[in-house]
């Protein structure tokens, strides 16, 4: 399947791929970045948010934790140039900081505990930022490889876990190019 094929998949198809996905060796993600493509959201939502983004993975030298962040990208479609949006100082606009954890430690509303979980509550986000509720189960689409990953977002509300329609495809771009 190519990237455009994923855009046409139903929520049921995406969920099936997530549940049938393969485990990821966390060390294979060290200091890498991925092109993210939003899947499953209605077109009006994508139009006011984004179709593409960048997701990074960085092994923290002090703690050894695998963490990361999202980067807002110029919206140039799937085939356009991959340029980050920049702040007033010319630095990439980073948001949604997270820690990557073993999925077996999470009670999630989908059968993807065999993968990893991107946990925004463990990232360096503002205390009252609603992104802290987000958890993203993440699996490999190709056994033993980390070139194409599939994720899905749910909200952890403490007593309940609530699914969203938001899935995403990650395609490896290369080594990490910027650390905030």
Instruction: State the average pLDDT for the chain.
Output: 95
Say whether pLDDT at 84 is over 90: yes
Among 16-20, 111-115, 124-128, the range of highest mean pLDDT: 16-20
The full set of domain ranges for the chain reads 3-175
Pairing of strands 161-175, 134-140: unpaired
Write out pLDDT tens, residues 116-174.
999 999 999 999 999 999 999 999 999 999 999 999 999 999 999 999 999 999 999 99
Q: pLDDT band for position 47 (50/70/90)?
A: confident
pLDDT at 92: 97
Q: pLDDT band for position 43 (50/70/90)?
A: confident
**C-alpha to C-alpha distance for 71 and 61, rounded to whole angstroms:** 21
Q: Provide mean pLDDT across the span 16-39.
A: 97
Q: Provide mean pLDDT across the span 14-35.
A: 97
According to CATH, the topology of domain 3-175 is Lipocalin (2.40.128)
Write out pLDDT tens, residues 99-111.
999 999 999 989 8
pLDDT at 131: 95
**C-alpha to C-alpha distance for 84 and 99, rounded to whole angstroms:** 22
Residue with tokens 């820690």: 99
Percentage of residues in the chain having pLDDT higher than 70: 100
Say whether pLDDT at 42 is over 90: no
pLDDT at 55: 98
pTM confidence score: 0.95
């Amino acid at each position: 399947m190519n990237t455009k094929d994923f855009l046409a998949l139903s929520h049921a198809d995406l969920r099936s791929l997530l549940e049938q996905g393969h485990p990821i060796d966390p060390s294979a993600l060290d200091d890498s970045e991925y092109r993210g493509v939003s899947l499953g959201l209605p077109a009006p939502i994508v139009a006011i948010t984004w179709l593409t983004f960048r997701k990074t993975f960085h092994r923290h030298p002090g703690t050894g934790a695998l963490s990361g962040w999202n980067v807002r990208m110029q919206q140039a479609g799937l085939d356009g140039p991959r340029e980050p949006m920049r702040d007033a100082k010319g630095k990439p606009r980073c948001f949604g900081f997270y820690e990557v954890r073993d999925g077996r430690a999470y009670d999630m509303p989908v059968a993807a505990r065999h993968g990893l979980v991107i946990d925004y509550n463990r990232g360096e986000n503002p205390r009252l930022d609603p992104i802290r509720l987000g958890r993203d189960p993440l699996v490999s689409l190709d056994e033993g490889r980390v070139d194409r990953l599939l994720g899905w977002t749910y909200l952890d509300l403490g007593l309940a876990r609530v699914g969203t329609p938001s899935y995403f495809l990650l395609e490896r771009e290369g080594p990490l190019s910027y650390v905030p």
